[in-house]
Amino acid sequence: MKPAIRPRFSLRAKLALLSLLLLALPWVGYRYVKEMEALLLEGQRDALVATSRAVATALHDRPQLMQVRPRTSLSSQSASIALLPGEELVEAAPTPAAEVESDQPAVAEVEAILRGLERTTSRIWVVNRDLRVLALAGSLRHDERAESGAAGGNGGERLTGWKGPWYALLARIMPPGGAALDDVVDPDRVATGREVFDALLMGAPASRLSRIADSGVMVVSAAHPIWSGDQVLGAVVVEESTHSIQSLRNRALERLLLLTLAGFVIAAVLVFGFASRLSSRIRRLRDEAEGAIDARGRITPVRTGSVAGDEVGDLSRSFSALLDRLARNQSYLESMASRLSHELRTPIAVVRSSLENLHTVAMPQEAETYMARAEAGLSRLSRILSRMSEATRMEQALATTESERFDLRTVVNECVNGYSVVYPTQRFEGDLPAYPVWVRGAPDLAAQMLDKLVENAADFAQPETPIRISLKFLSAMAELSVTNIGPPLPAELEGRLFESMVSARKRDGGDEPHLGLGLYVARMIAVFHGGTLRAENLETGDGVCMSAEFRLA
C-alpha cells in the first residue's frame, strides 16, 4: 500500500511562489509615498494659510478696500474665461460706482498692495463679503515650465524603444499631475469654497483640497478673513495647484517602481537559480538512488553531492552509507553459496577419501550396501556443491570472455537439434527466422543460457507437449524465447525468479539438485549480451514463456 501522493508541485515552483512575497515591497513603498504626499499637502495647506494670513494682515482695517474696483485686465480675463452668463451678471451689475472716488489715496495704496500680490507664486483672490472678486493675482500654472523641465519635458524625445511602454505603464499607475492644466479662473469655485465661508462667516482661516471639475487637477486653497474692526470685510483666498507635489510623488513612485522591479527581478532570478540548483541536486540524488540498484540487483554507490556540506550532501552520504551496507550484505549473500561450497569441499574430501580407502579393506557383504548408499549420497552432495559455485564461476568466466559477432540462428539451430538427443522423451519445435541473426557476445554462453532455459522448460513441461524454441526480430533486438505447456509461475515469485537461490520447484528434485541458480546464471548471460531475461505466463494460462533479448550487432 503506497500512500496517495498529492499532485506534483516542485520545489522550484514553491520557492517561486514564495518569492512573490517580494511583490509586497512596491506596495509598501507606494503606501509610504502616499503618506509623504499627504504630509507634503498638509505642509502646503499650512503654507497657503500663512500666505493668506500675510496678505490679509496687509489688508486688515482698510474699509476702503471695498471701494477698489476689480482690475480691468483681471476682470476682463475672468469675464472672458468664465462661461456662465450669471457670472458676468454678478460682476457687472452691482458695480459700486458711487463709492469709487471717496478715498483715492487709500484706494491707491490698497491697489498697490494688490498689485504687489501679482508677483506671487500662487493665485490670490480677494473677495468682499458679497463674494465679489476684488482682486485676482497670480496663476495656477506658474511653475509649469520649471516642472516640465525636470520631469515631464524629457519624455517627449525619449519615448522610444523600451521606454515607450514603460511610460505608458507608469501613466496607467499614476496619472500625470496637472500636466494639462488650464488656468481656469472660475469665481464659482471660490464662491462655493467651504474655506471662504469659514473665513467670511466665522472669521476663521480655513483650507481645503479640491479638484477642479474637468481637468482633474488638485488644488489646495486657503482663505483668511480680512478684518476691519469687528467686521469681516472680505477674505483672501490663496490657491495653489498640487502639481509640484504630484510630480514629485510621481517621480518618487517611478523610481520606487523601477528599483523594486529591478530588485524583484534580481531576487527572483537568484531564488529561481538557487531553487533550480537545489531541486536538480535532489532530483539527481533521487535518480541515482533509484538507479543504485539495477535490474540485476547490483548496487552502485551514490555520488551526487557526497562532498557538499549541506543537507543534500548529508542525505547523499547517508544514502551512500545505506547502499554500502546493503551492498555488503548482498555480496555476502551472493558469495555465501560459493563460500559454502568451498568450505564444504574439504570435509567432503575427507569423507570421500576415507570411503575410497575403505574399499581396499575387506568388508562384510552387508557393509557393501551401506558403502554404496554413502557414496551415492556423497556424489549428490558434491554435485550440489559444484552447482553452488557455478554462478560464481560463470561470473568469472564472463569477466574474461571477449565478445565476438556471431550468428545466433546457427547456434540456436544446432542446440535445437542437439536437444532431441539429450531429451529423448521430449518433443521440440524450432521457429527460426530465414535470415542469420547477428548478435555480439559469446556463442558458447548463449548456448549455455539456452541450455538452462530448456532444462527449466523440460522440468515443467507436461508429458506429450512440445517445447517451443523461437527466435525472432524485434526492432533493434532479437528475442529468443522458450515456451512450454505446464503449470504457470507462482505469483509470489513475480520478479524474483532470476535471483540467486530462488526456485519455483516444489517437488523433490530427485537425483538432480535444484538450487534456483540455473535461471540466475541464465540472466547473467543475458545481461552479458546486452539484453534482458524475463518470464511470463502464457495468455491462455497453461504455460510459461521465458524470453531473452539480444542486442543485434
Partner 1 sequence: MGRRIAIVEDEAAIRANYAEALVRQGYDVAAYADRPAALAAFRSRLPDLAIIDIGLGDEPEGGFTLCGELRAMSARLPIIFLTARDSDFDIVSGLRLGADDYLTKDVSLPHLLARVAALFRRVEAISEARPQEDLLERGPLRLDAMRLVAEWKGQPVALTLTEFWMVHTLARTPGHVKSRDQLMQDARLVDDGTITSHVKRIRRKFAAIDADFDCIESVYGMGYRWKA
Task: Map grid coordinates 535518480 to a residue.
Answer: 287
Query: CB of residue 15 vs partner 1: minimum separation in angstroms?
Result: 54
DSSP bridge pairs for 235: 127, 225
102 vs 379 by CB, closer to partner 1: 379
Largest CA distance in the chain: 173
What's the burial of 252, exposed, middle or buried (CB within 10 Å: 0-12/13-18/19+)?
middle
Query: CB of residue 482 vs partner 1: minimum separation in angstroms?
Result: 13
34 vs 393 by CB, closer to partner 1: 393
Q: Per residue in 371-401, is it b (16+ CB within 10 Å) or e — as a string?
A: eeeebeeeeeebebbebbbbbbebeebeeee
Q: Is 548 in the site for partner 1 (CB under 8 A)?
A: no
Q: Which stretch binds partner 1 (CB under 8 A): 138-146, 180-188, 340-348, 482-490?
A: 340-348
Q: In this chain, which of 342, 440, 472, 534 binds partner 1, going by CB under 8 A?
A: 342
Q: Is 386 in the site for partner 1 (CB under 8 A)?
A: yes
Strands in 410-451 per DSSP E: 428-431, 438-441
**CB–CB of 184/83 below 8 Å?**
no
DSSP bridge pairs for 128: 234
- Residue 140 vs residues 124, 177, 498: alpha-carbon distances, Å: 10, 13, 95
**Identity of residue 397:** A
What's the burial of 264, exposed, middle or buried (CB within 10 Å: 0-12/13-18/19+)?
middle
Cβ partners under 8 Å of residue 295, min gap 6: 527, 532
Query: CB of residue 530 vs partner 1: minimum separation in angstroms?
Result: 20
Q: Is 148 in the site for partner 1 (CB under 8 A)?
A: no
Q: Is 425 in the site for partner 1 (CB under 8 A)?
A: no
Query: CB of residue 344 vs partner 1: minimum separation in angstroms?
Result: 9
Q: In this chain, which of 346, 369, 425, 540 binds partner 1, going by CB under 8 A?
A: 346
**CB–CB of 234/200 below 8 Å?**
yes
DSSP label of 199: I
Q: Is 451 in the site for partner 1 (CB under 8 A)?
A: yes
Q: In this chain, which of 345, 380, 472, 534 binds partner 1, going by CB under 8 A?
A: 345
- Residue 282 vs residues 8, 16, 17, 161: alpha-carbon distances, Å: 15, 17, 19, 42
Which grid coordinates belong to 369? 550396501
Q: Is 393 in the site for partner 1 (CB under 8 A)?
A: yes
Query: CB of residue 411 vs partner 1: minimum separation in angstroms?
Result: 5
245 vs 394 by CB, closer to partner 1: 394
Q: Which stretch binds partner 1 (CB under 8 A): 46-54, 121-129, 303-311, 345-353?
A: 345-353
From first CA to last CA, the distance across the chain in angstroms is 43
Q: In this chain, which of 411, 457, 504, 517 binds partner 1, going by CB under 8 A?
A: 411
Tell me how crowded residue 242 is: count the other CB atoms within 10 A of its CB: 22
Q: Is 470 in the site for partner 1 (CB under 8 A)?
A: no
**CB–CB of 497/429 below 8 Å?**
no
Q: In this chain, which of 352, 380, 440, 472 binds partner 1, going by CB under 8 A?
A: 352
252 vs 351 by CB, closer to partner 1: 351
Query: CB of residue 549 vs partner 1: minimum separation in angstroms?
Result: 19
385 vs 526 by CB, closer to partner 1: 385
Task: Map grid coordinates 531553487 to a residue.
Answer: 275
Binding mask 291-330 for partner 1 (x = CB under 8 A): ----------------------------------------
212 vs 437 by CB, closer to partner 1: 437
Q: Is 141 in the site for partner 1 (CB under 8 A)?
A: no
Q: Is 443 in the site for partner 1 (CB under 8 A)?
A: yes
313 vs 433 by CB, closer to partner 1: 433
Residue count (the chain): 553
Q: Is 417 in the site for partner 1 (CB under 8 A)?
A: yes
Q: Is 414 in the site for partner 1 (CB under 8 A)?
A: yes
Residue 467: phi and psi, rounded to 5, are -100, 130
Q: Is 334 in the site for partner 1 (CB under 8 A)?
A: no
The per-residue DSSP string of 139-164 comes to: -TTTTHHHHHHHTTTTHHHH--TTHH
**Identity of residue 307:** V
Q: Is 416 in the site for partner 1 (CB under 8 A)?
A: yes
Q: Which stretch binds partner 1 (CB under 8 A): 26-34, 285-293, 394-402, 531-539?
A: 394-402
Residue 339: phi and psi, rounded to 5, are -70, -40
**Please, what is the Cα angle at 74 between 70 and 77, to 5 degrees?**
130
Q: Is 385 in the site for partner 1 (CB under 8 A)?
A: yes
Query: CB of residue 537 vs partner 1: minimum separation in angstroms?
Result: 26
Question: Which among 316, 154, 151 is positioned nearest to 250, based on CA atoms?
Answer: 151
Q: Is 374 in the site for partner 1 (CB under 8 A)?
A: no
Q: Which residues contact partner 1 by CB under 8 A?
A: 342-343, 345-346, 348-350, 352-354, 356-357, 360, 382, 385-386, 389-390, 392-394, 396-397, 400, 411-412, 414-419, 421-422, 443-444, 446-448, 450-451
